[in-house]
Structure 1
Amino acid sequence: MSRVSPALVRARPDGRTGRPPLTERRKAATRLEIAREAVRLFTTNGVAGTSAEEIAAAAGISARTLWRYFPSKESCVLPLLTGGIEVATQCLRSWGPDQGVAELLDAMLRSAGEIATDRAALLNLVRLTGSEPGLRAVWLEAHREAEPVFAAALAERAGLSAPDLDINVRAAMFNVALRTAVEHYASHTDPAAAEEPGLLEATVGQALRTAARGFSP
């Protein structure tokens, strides 16, 4: 998937659809490379031990260019955080009104390969959000921005012109389930060990099924 937005899946400024222009794709690629290098350096040296200049040098750009893309060194990680959210949004948009949670999970599983390249970096980043307040703030902000996007997709699925209270609650539950599942998986697995195939997907599935049950025992 092409990550064309600085945050989440949004309409293009010109209102058109389809593949974004080459310039936008290049910018997205640059942003993603900055994010990868930022996570690598943060994982090795910590946030306090990493400067924006070091991130820029690792990404092969100037510090001035980096600041054109991101307002802070912590926000450099945002393109990695939003990859999974974008996939989830696309799956919600294609989730039929006559389909259940199982079909949504199947769609998410089929789409997981789109972010597989950055999976290890994403998990390392989520682990860092547990001890680095600045990264935690970026992670939570990414999900805060995701919620109305999820709500719009769910409203469209329900045939509504705009989200109502029920839709907003469901979007919030979906959002929290995704975030909590990834955090749980990241904090309960060893980054140095080989990843057990399918375990992350199973964790996300369990969280979404729990959310679907609501307050039922």
Structure 2
Amino acid sequence: MSTKPPSLTERRKAATQLDIARAAAELFTERGPDQTTAEDVAERAGVALRTFYRYFRSKQDAVAPLLAHGADRWRELLAESEPGAGLPAALERAVQESLSASDAHTAEGLRQTRALLRAAVDDPALRAVWYRVNQESEEKLVDVVAGLAGPGADPMAVRLTAAAATDAIRVALEAWAATDAEVTGPGSPAELAVRCLRELMGGMRLLTG
């Protein structure tokens, strides 16, 4: 079923939110969250402080769109898979393609995510945003997995698949962020995510049978 494309107002809102998110990520990387204020983020993004608070509750919350961007991309790739084509292979393809850093834009996004995850180690509020983004992604993924698995799929298995796939990417990105590995090659996000995906989902009936 096709979805209604976003309106011009919705696209502008999303663009503004992403601009603010990038500004917050830059400042967190440069100064750290403790040395960054909401006023700093608004100024860097070129928006009024009231605009900042129209979209976000806190400076940490401001990076949520940036952290969610990668998850949105890989769900879109997964949704493009043909039903019945094989869910395990479809999941691996979507994860690998979305994290492969095949262009400068994707590579930069991964580096920003690494910087934010490193900052989150000492910032509980930032960690909470990261966990919330993953939870929301998992909830959205359920419908995508259900559509690919078909009408006869066990709902519990669908939910477990969505949870395992989300956790595989989360753990892979956290593990990568703790190292100095490159965005491609050994120890890269794509390599780690596929490894985590296989290990977490290896025994699940929905994926193996």
TM range (shorter): 0.7 to 0.9
The 1:134–1:163 alpha-carbon spacing in structure 2 relative to 1, beyond 3 Å, is: farther
Kindly provide the amino acid, as one letter, of the partner of residue 129 in structure 1. A
**Following TM superposition, by how much is the alpha carbon of 1:130 offset from its aligned partner in structure 2, in angstroms?**
1.8
The Cα of 1:61 is off from its aligned counterpart by 0.7
Is residue 2:196 matched to residue 1:210? no
Q: Are the counterparts in 2 of residues 177 and 211 from structure 1 also a CA contact under 8 Å? A: yes
Q: CA deviation at 1:161?
A: 8.6
Structure 1 residue 73 displacement after superposition: 1.1
Q: In structure 2, how many angstroms separate the alpha carbons of the residues matched to 1:83 and 1:163? A: 29
Question: Are positions 1:41 and 2:27 aligned together?
Answer: yes
* 1:10-51 deviation line (CA, Å, top 9, x unaligned): xxxxx9523x22222222111111111111111222222111
Asked if 1:57 is matched to 2:48, the reply is no
1:74-121 superposed Cα distances (whole Å, 9 cap, x missing partner): 100001110111122113323342325344323343344586142221
Deviations 1:156-196 (A, max 9, x none): 11223997112111111111111001100111226xxxx25
Paired with 2:154 and 2:56, the residues of 1 have a C-alpha distance of 31
Structure 2 gap segments, 5+ residues each: 205-209
SS at match of 2:44: helix
| SS of the residue 2:122 aligns to | coil
Q: Please, which moves more after superposition, 160-169 or 129-138?
A: 160-169
What are structure 1's unaligned runs of at least 5 residues? 1-14
Counterpart of 1:29 in structure 2 is 15
Does structure 1 residue 88 correspond to structure 2 residue 78? no
1:140, distance to aligned residue in structure 2 (A): 0.2
Percent identity over paired residues? 35
Structure having the larger proportion of residues in helix: 2
How far apart in 1 are the matches of 2:89 and 2:3?
33
CA contact (8 A) 1:147 1:175 kept: yes
TM-score of the superposition, structure 1-length normalised?
A: 0.81
Secondary structure at the aligned position of 2:34 is classed as coil
Further displaced range: 22-31 or 57-66: 22-31
Residue 76 of structure 1: aligned partner: 62
| Alignment coverage as a number of residue pairs | 196
CA gap 1:206/1:139 in 2 versus in 1, 3 angstroms: same
- For the residues of structure 2 that align with 1:127 and 1:63, how far apart are their CA atoms? 26
TM-score normalised according to structure 2 size: 0.83
Q: State the Cα RMSD in Å.
A: 2.4
Instruction: State how far apart, in whole Å, the 2-side matches of 1:64 and 1:179 are.
Output: 32
Corresponding residue for residue 141 of structure 2: 150
Residue 125 of structure 2 is aligned to residue 134 of structure 1: yes
